[in-house]
Amino acid sequence: MKPYKAIGDQIIYTPAKFKKLFGSSADVTLQGTFKIIKSAGATITDNEIKARVLASINTFFDIDNWTYGESFYYTELCAYIHSQLSTQISSVVIVGKDAESVFGDLFEITSDPNELFYSTATVDDIEIINSFTDQNLKKGS
C-alpha cells in the first residue's frame, strides 16, 4: 500500500527585495531629479513646495500601495503630485541623473516578481525651475 498525502504543509520562502528609486542610494540608472514649475499664484515658499512634493512621493510609494512585480508609471505619480499641490505647482517632470539618460527614461520602470518599489528621494532631488528647456529636460537629439 502507498501512503497518500491529502494536504501539504510545505512553506516556500522567496526573499523580497526593494527596488530603490530616485535618490542617491538608488542604482545610477534609476536616480532622478524632480523638476517643478510653480503656479503663478503659488502661496507657499519653494522649500514648502519641495517638502510637500517629497511627502506626496513618499505617500505614493507607501508599501501598502504596491504589490510584488508591479510596474511604475511616472504619469500616475505625476497625477498624484498634482492632486496634492494643485494650486501651488503647474508642472512636474522627472529627469534622470545618469549622464547617459534622456528625458523619459524614468517614465516606466519594471520590477522583478520579488521586488517592491521604494523611493529614496530627498528634497535635494527636487528642483524648482522657471521653465522647461531642452537642456534641463535632457532631451535626446
Give me the domain span that covers residue 21: 17-129
pLDDT at 140 over 60: no
What pTM was estimated for this model as a whole? Answer: 0.84
What's the mean per-residue pLDDT of the chain? 89
Q: Is residue 4 part of a domain?
A: no
pLDDT at 138 over 60: yes
Q: Is residue 38 part of a domain?
A: yes
Q: Is residue 5 part of a domain?
A: no
Tally of structural domains, the chain: 1
Output Rg (C-alpha) for the chain, integer angstroms.
20
Q: Is residue 75 part of a domain?
A: yes
For 85-95, letters b (16+ CB in 10 Å) and e give: beebbeebbbb
Q: Is residue 95 part of a domain?
A: yes
Q: Is residue 31 part of a domain?
A: yes
Q: Which of 1-10, 102-111, 113-122 has the lowest mean pLDDT?
A: 1-10
Q: What percent of the chain has pLDDT over 90?
A: 70
